Chain A
Amino acid sequence: MSSGTQPGTPAKPAVFPTMWNNKRAAFAFLAPAVAALALIGIFPTVFALVNSFRRYNLAKPRDPTPFVGLDNYLTVLYDPSFWGALGRTFMFLVTVVPIQIALGLIIALLLHKPGLSGFKLLARLSLVIPLATAPAVAGLIGRLIFNRDFGVANAVLAFVGAGPVEWLGDTTNAFIAVALMDIWQWTPFCALVLLAGLTMVPTEIEEAARLETKSRWQIVRYVQMPFLLPSVTVILILRTADILKMFDTVFTMTRGGPGAATELVSVYIQRVGFRVFDQGVASAQAIMLLILTIVLARLYVKYVYREV
């Protein structure tokens, strides 16, 4: 029996050599990505995990680096500054994220409306600008905007007969100023994700709803919102992770001050890790933060995420 092509029968289309169809091909394609991930993601995490169980200060190279069990974690648990910074971070999270989602939703709904396609294209492109700005630069811009004497914020307030406000030298105002910069930078991200979510709503359902009611809110609430829940979940997960590791903007804008008013948890960890150089305690703090991020992400998925 021959398995060759019979004379007269049409030739089968060319296929990739068998070698490329087997597991080795998949491995070859995936290996670079996995290797890169292992190198820049998994290895540092494992390294930090190991360090978190050791007494390890980079600035004391002559000191031994023994394993100390859970000592570093206990140090973190009994450190009021860490809990203060964590509490401040959650305050920041619950302040900025709802505003970003609300503003993002408004922008997304405006961009989703039919018509004015040229203008909307321009608006979409301009939304990318804050996202493309490096966070450290955003902090420096914030420092200029909120300068008491020549900042734009006080110039605007002066125009309406208010101010001047002491933005960065006052504990509450400094927190607000950093929050405003974060809202400026990340609202476009929320808008773009929610806009993508809105495109998932079937056109016929939306049109049917418009025939049923003239209430814009009811359409948003009962027709579009269910389709937006996966997008909201994504925003919550990513923004929570971002805020828990937010450092550059705060450091360049206020350096965590005045006092500890804007010292978010990552700024505090940086102080421990790279001013005191206590890699053991800083690693324990970072691992606890990682666990917290994972737990919050699971909670978001459990309580917010719904598929239509």
Chain B
Amino acid sequence: MRKKLWGAIAFAGALMTSVSAMAWTLEEAAQPYKGTNIKAIFLDRPGYAAAIKLLPEFEKKTGIKVNYEIVPYENSRERQVLDFTGGGEIDVVLTDVVWIGEFAGNGWLEPVKTFTADAKLADPKLNLKGFFPILLESFGTWGDEVYGLPFDNYSGLLYYNKCTLQQAGFDKPPATWDELMNVYAPKLTDTANRKYAYALQSRRGETQSADSFMRVLWPFGGSLLDDKFKSNLNSAQSQAGLKFRQDLMKYMPPGIVDYDHAEAVNALAQGNVAMITEWSAFYSTLSDPSKSKITDCLAVATEPAGPAGLKPALGGFSLGVNAQSSDAKKAASWLFIQWVTSEEMAKPYIEAGGVSGRTEVYKDADIQKRYPFVAPMVASWDGGVPDFRPRFAEWPELSEVVAEWGTRMMLGNVSIEQGAQSIGARMEEILGQAGYYDGSKPLRK
């Protein structure tokens, strides 16, 4: 009898859940917000162009108008912080992995639970566990609270020109950084003809600090900070990584300290360099025949491993809701974010040029076949470092210091040791003032 009762309860529960799942539709959820205008901040990158292509479908279904402003990455934090502090117009907040501590810590982002607790707004198929854990943790979560859903997702990948490698006698990409420099690079560099083995985007700014400097710390077992938030840059492992970068420069194009993403991608696309380590999002650019001369020779692999193993660069952005927006705009923004990052939209998003953060879509054989970057990217996310860059509020300040001194190191204006000491001293000063050393702030990164 008891068995039957529990069975009936379970059946009723399953039925109710399924009815509720069937009952919830985006159109009905959006009905009260029809005609609402919301504003989002986008970047000039493939993931945003993909979302823009999909927007008409959302607007047609919901009647919610999504306005967007495209800003350069370097100005995007400034644009949003000024908006938060000045009481502005942004509803859909774009949060870089390194801003989550600042945006969430300052109360500028509405916790996701506000919406998931509301049956009218929460899609029963939302499935937060369907995101790659590393992405949801890195870009969307601060202090065990989820504030945003992974939207524009990156892993560092090794893009290479397989034709050039084959001509040099290599039938596969380098598996380790050591192999890249000591085996591949000498054979792939022809300075007289301005052909280089590798380009590492190192322009001053976040490109220097995140893409160049941090990229060589982790694989060599180094890191920016130790467990007590003191500088770890003068450890043997960090020094080895930074010295490696310096040695590798002789196989990079001259003026590499002025290379941003566009220049590095273009150098590979035009056949001037054989390999680059760039974000997964640039696959669509490199495979576009109107922008790339090497589409037939383009191949992708995981970043080379270092002595500490595979520690690829991790980056990306989540979309969250501005805590200062009106309730209607908050709801409309949530519906948009939930829809654009949903499992249902993952495939259309990828097909439009984006990189979804959903796990299921990458099990699709068709997607795996059409997008060769998928397998190495999934492998990278499975083994990546969630705090590849510290995510606390002080990172932008640290990033400025790292960017300045990291470039000076590469230019040879200061030695690796001196540069590391200078960064370390300034970094500890900033973190000390922030209260990490006197216990007034938790050591969370």
Contact = CB atoms under 8 A, between A and B. Distances in A.
Given A148-B254, A275-B397, A260 B408 contact: yes
Interface string B233-256: 000000000000000000001111
A169 B203 CA distance: 9
A149 B81 CA distance: 37
A256 interface: yes
Given A149-B272, A169-B257, A257 B81 contact: no
Interface in B154-178: none
A61 B258 contact: no
A293 interface: no
A255 interface: yes
A58 interface: yes
Contacts of B259: 169
Given A59-B102, A255-B203, A276 B396 contact: yes
A258 B412 CA distance: 11
B75 to A, nearest CB: 9
Interface residues of A, number: 28
B411 interface: yes
B204 A257 contact: yes
B85 A169 contact: no
A275 B106 contact: no
B255 A260 contact: no
Interface in B194-214: 194, 203-205, 208
B411 A259 contact: yes
Given A259-B408, A275-B400, A276-B397, A60 B106 contact: yes
A277 interface: yes
Contacts of B407: 257-259
Interface string A162-203: 000011111100100000000000000000000000000000
Contacts of A24: none
A170 B411 CA distance: 8
A254 interface: yes
Contact of A276 (B204, B272, B400, B410): B400
B254 A169 contact: yes
A265 B239 CA distance: 32
B204 A274 contact: no
Contact of A168 (B74, B102, B205, B258): B258
B254 A271 contact: no
Contacts, number: 78
A65 to B, nearest CB: 12
A118 to B, nearest CB: 43
Contacts of A256: 204
B106 A61 contact: yes
Main DSSP-derived SS at the B contact region: helix
Nearest to B414: A259
A58 B408 contact: no
A62 interface: yes
Interface string B409-421: 0110100000000
B364 interface: no
Interface in A81-125: 81
A260 B400 CA distance: 11
Contacts of A168: 255, 258
Contacts of A260: 404, 408
A277 B85 CA distance: 11
Contacts of B208: 257
Contact of B258 (A59, A258, A263): A258
Contacts of A61: 84-85, 106
B82 interface: yes
A166 B255 contact: yes
Interface in B388-413: 393, 396-397, 400, 404, 407-408, 410-411, 413
Nearest to B256: A169
Interface in B246-287: 253-259, 272
Contacts of B81: 58-59, 277
B400 A258 contact: no
Nearest to A258: B257
A254 B74 CA distance: 13
Interface of B: 74, 77-78, 81-82, 84-85, 102, 106-107, 194, 203-205, 208, 253-259, 272, 393, 396-397, 400, 404, 407-408, 410-411, 413
16 contacts: A59-B81, A62-B106, A62-B107, A166-B254, A166-B255, A169-B257, A171-B413, A174-B258, A254-B258, A257-B208, A257-B257, A258-B257, A258-B411, A275-B77, A275-B78, A276-B400
5 smallest CB-CB distances across A and B, nearest first, come from: A169-B255, A257-B204, A169-B258, A258-B257, A168-B258
